[in-house]
Homo-oligomer: A and B are copies of this chain.
Amino acid sequence: MTTLMFRDALRQALREEMQRDPRVFVLGEDIGRYGGAYAVTKGLLEEFGPRRVIDTPMSEGTIVGAAVGAAMVGGRPVAEIMYVDFMAYAMDQLVNQAAKIHYMFGGQINVPMVLRTQQGTGRGAGAQHSQSLEAWFTHVPGLKVIAPAIPADAKGLLKSAIRDGNPIVFLEHKGLYALKGEVPDEEYLTPIGVARVARAGDDLTLISYSRGVHVALEAADELARAGIQAEVLDLRTLKPLDIDALIASVRRTRRVVIVHEATLTGGLGAEIAARLSEALFGRLLAPVQRVAAFDVPLPANSRLEKLIVPDAARVVQAARAVLNFSPQETIS
Contacts and interface: CB of A to CB of B under 8 A. Distances in A.
Interface centre among A94, A104, A136, A266, by most B CB within 10 Å? A266
Given A239-B265, A297-B104, A278 B274 contact: no
Contacts of A332: 251, 283
Interface stretch (A14-22, A95-103, A168-176): A95-103
Contact of A135 (B94, B127, B266): B266
Given A139-B135, A296-B141, A278 B268 contact: no
A289 interface: yes
A227 to B, nearest CB: 25
Given A85-B96, A99-B297, A265 B104 contact: no
Nearest to A238: B266
Interface string A113-148: 000000000000011100001011011111000000
A289 to B, nearest CB: 7
Copies of this protein, total: 2
A286 interface: yes
A223 interface: no
Nearest to A274: B273
Interface string A277-313: 1111111101111100001110010000000000000
Nearest to A61: B89
Interface of A: 61, 85-89, 91-92, 94-96, 99-100, 103-104, 126-128, 133, 135-136, 138-142, 239, 241, 251, 262-263, 265-271, 273-274, 277-284, 286-290, 295-297, 300, 327, 330-332
